[in-house]
Amino acid sequence: MLGTSPLDLLALMADDKAFFKALGARLAALRKEAALSQRAVADQLGIAQQTLAHYEVGTARMPVSIMPAFAKLYRVDANELLGLPGATGRRGPTPLLQKQIERLYQLPKTQQKVVMQMLDGALAQANR
């Protein structure tokens, strides 16, 4: 940035810091809304849990290439992640059952099997 004063550079750096802090807060809020742990999200994205933690508090800059994965995981438009005006937003709130199914996928296979057997039993009883 030739011709940029040190004060201008400091202002740009402050803007960047504020942007990544706000982005991180949006990511954390979306993760919590989806009832997912940092470990679960990090595993799905193929990153370290600690890296996700740094993204969420805004101390690390995430690569742009990971934004579509976050948008898909949280079922939001990438514009919403970026905090851009006019973002299309969500398709609507995630129903409780969908959230529970997503949490079920995070369980070990043996626990998933137990939950599925209980569900099958309850559904069989309800159909009588």
Are 44 and 73 within 8 A, CB to CB? yes
Q: 53-66: per-residue pLDDT in tens?
A: 999 999 998 898 99
Q: Alpha-carbon distance 91 to 76, whole Å?
A: 7
Q: Is 104 within a domain?
A: yes
| Host H or E run for residue 20 | helix 6-33
Q: Is 23 within a domain?
A: yes
DSSP E strand stretches across the chain: none
Q: Alpha-carbon distance 66 to 80, whole Å?
A: 14
Count of domains in the chain? 2
Provide the CATH number for the domain around residue 25: 1.10.260.40
Same domain as 100, residue 89: no
Q: Is 1 within a domain?
A: no
- Best CA proximity match to 83, nearest among 12, 123, 30, 11: 30
Q: 77-119: per-residue pLDDT in tens?
A: 888 888 876 555 455 555 677 677 777 878 888 988 888 888 8
Same domain as 83, residue 31: yes
Write out the residue range of the structural domain in which residue 118 sits: 95-128
Are 30 and 94 within 8 A, CB to CB? no
- pLDDT value of residue 92: 52
Same domain as 99, residue 89: no
Same domain as 28, residue 51: yes
| Host H or E run for residue 116 | helix 109-126
Same domain as 123, residue 81: no
Same domain as 13, residue 54: yes
Q: 32-57: per-residue pLDDT in tens?
A: 988 899 999 999 999 999 999 999 99
- pLDDT value of residue 95: 64
Q: Which of 13-27, 68-82, 92-106 is predicted with the least confidence, judged by mean pLDDT?
A: 92-106
Same domain as 103, residue 43: no
